[in-house]
Structure 1
Amino acid sequence: MKIFKIFMVAAIFTIATLSQAQDIKPTDVKKVMEKVADWQIKHFHDLYSGHTKPHHPLNWTNGALYVGLVKWAAMADDDKYYKWLKEIGEKYEWKLHRRKYHADDHTVGQLYVELYRKYNDEKMIEPTKEQFNFIMLHPPQTSLQWKSPYHQSRWNWCDALFMSPPVWAKLYNITGEQKYLDFMMDEFKATTDFLFDKEESLYYRDEGYIGKLENNTKMFWSRGNGWVFAGLTNIMNELNPQSKEYKYFLKIYKKMANKLLEIQTPDGHWSMSLLGQVYYPTPETSGSSFYIYGLAWGINKGLLNKETYGLAVQKGWNAMVDYVSKEGMLGYVQPIGAAPGKAWADKTEVYGTGAFLSAGSEVYKLYGGE
């Protein structure tokens, strides 16, 4: 009887594993990406996260959408997505958002550089270069401590590492000017020294969470670390793999990848509080999509072993696809926030779509898409 029970448990585990590890076809990846992208463009001005009016087109929320959408535009069968994105840049004269130093308002610069790469039109990046040149000539002298005066003039919250540093890295790559890379490295290192927990290989959201426990567990916000992990990926894409700068980011990336493999939930997503799965069982798709993006990219680049990390990507992607409605809305995207919280099947946000499209762009390659 005892042997029979052991056999049944093993059989159930095997069936569950097989159901989560369904084969992924690149044509299916492309099909669901198109459906999600089309739904999001159609519902671009929808209201979520308690907002009473749509996000400004240059707001960080939409900036994160564009980071993923421009990857989809490069895969799509026609240029209509590029055209839609280009019209946004033209409408706002290729300017970044309102705040000169704030990382959130730099996010849209990632789109501008990618459009410059396609159209080779210098005006698409001139305002960004001008603003960043000003910042380098007048660097912020503020503290990284949370709520100190003008504190968000520097990257003192982990989300910022997705928003601004990739823009600096892209400018360095396309101009060849070392000054952009040097500034970015100094600030990124300062933030990492401040917020990275060496014991857990994860980032605190900001100073306010350092040493803070919830249910006797350190609080590491999933989307916050997703911002960082995707940001590392987007930065390394711009650097020479033999450079010391690339190796600095790679070291952090591999530490995080190893930790993410360890804490992925059996359902394929990552918990909103990364070390507190039991307390946050609800799926969350924005942070999880960023992890899938970064892990799939690492396998594609030969940085991560496919045998070790491939199943995590497969399980994760299949879970994300399950949370896409038949119309194309990605559900279970946590609303705007700074800590673990709630998510719902019928609620979304534009940055979640951006993360999903980024993930799809690498999953597509991983499974043989060209």
Structure 2
Amino acid sequence: MRNEPDAPQGPDPTILAPQARKGRGAVSNRPGRYEPGERPLEDDGWGSVQADEAEAPPLRTTVQPDKSKTVIAWNESPDLGFDRSINPYRGCEHGCVYCFARPTHAYLGLSPGLDFETRLFAKHDAAAILARELAKPSYRPAPIGLGTNTDPYQPIERELGITRQILEVLERFNHPVTIVTKSALILRDLDILSRMAQRGLVEATVSVTTLDPDLARKLEPRAPTPPRRLAAIEALAAAGISTGVLAAPMIPALNDPELEAILAAATARGATRAGYVLLRLPLEIKDLFREWLEAHVPDRAEHVLSLVRDTREGNLYQAKFGTRMRGTGPYAELLRQRYRVAMRKLGLAKRGGGAIGLRSDLFAVPKGERPQFELF
């Protein structure tokens, strides 16, 4: 059964559509699932509300400290190629409207919409906490995923440098790590990454959603342009770092025709691994994405959503393990076959397979980081 009505009711003429904001992905700040009620814009008859919204000053980004006691997050998902990860930041200024991490802001009493990309939280002491966790006698090493929820190289990383501090700890411990990012800022850390790569301790994946700069600007307004991401792939590969590309998310009738072109462009620049993920619309994201479609591609909005339902058994999302990343049905199967053919043609390895080859046997707790009780 569908979670949404088969025939949606006509729009209330007194309710105004949210306005897209320059440089931001979400077009509204609708409350999270734990907050009471919604506050839609209503036309007061004077035509002033939309004008006020259009003339509103740009939303500023704020950063608050995240006081988490631990930094390694553990999971048992069969869909993921890792069982542990680190995310230096909550929220992401890249503003990707489709980001599956948006609903996590609801846990903070904030909106998964504009709050997610403007009210950020940073784990300033993440490196120190990580060192303590890795030094525990009970810890057993395996590849850590860096940036699996929000981007570790989002714009505030340029100033705060938390991701670099984490990499410094991982290098000291000879701990394997996999990195996923949209940002060319990863090249700042080529010195650390190239040294780790020589020991088989790192692989990097750059996410490329589209090769169309105009579409990228609307989908992910504060992320680096497609050419800069491809240049990052080239520089990482040239530095001897195992580099892959993630074509994600593939959105039916919007960017999925680009799948083969994305994989080919990345391969030409040195990528040796590739993966893709079908658009996921859990919880609040389905409404945020619908608003985005109606604001930016209103002529295709219903067609895109209809095709999404075709890949999710009539719903806008299903969270089943095994299918949530790829979907089901003829449209999803066609995309899967296209991916397989392109991978064979380009000689690419499946993304994630390289992590199996990362070395965990070199892991060692530096003497200066060992717990004090070892002195007795």
TM-score for both structures, normalised by structure 2: 0.28
Greater relative contact order, per chain length (Cα 8 Å cut-off, separation 6+): 1
Pick the structure with more strand per residue: 2
TM-score, with normalisation over the residues of structure 1?
Answer: 0.28
Larger Rg: 2
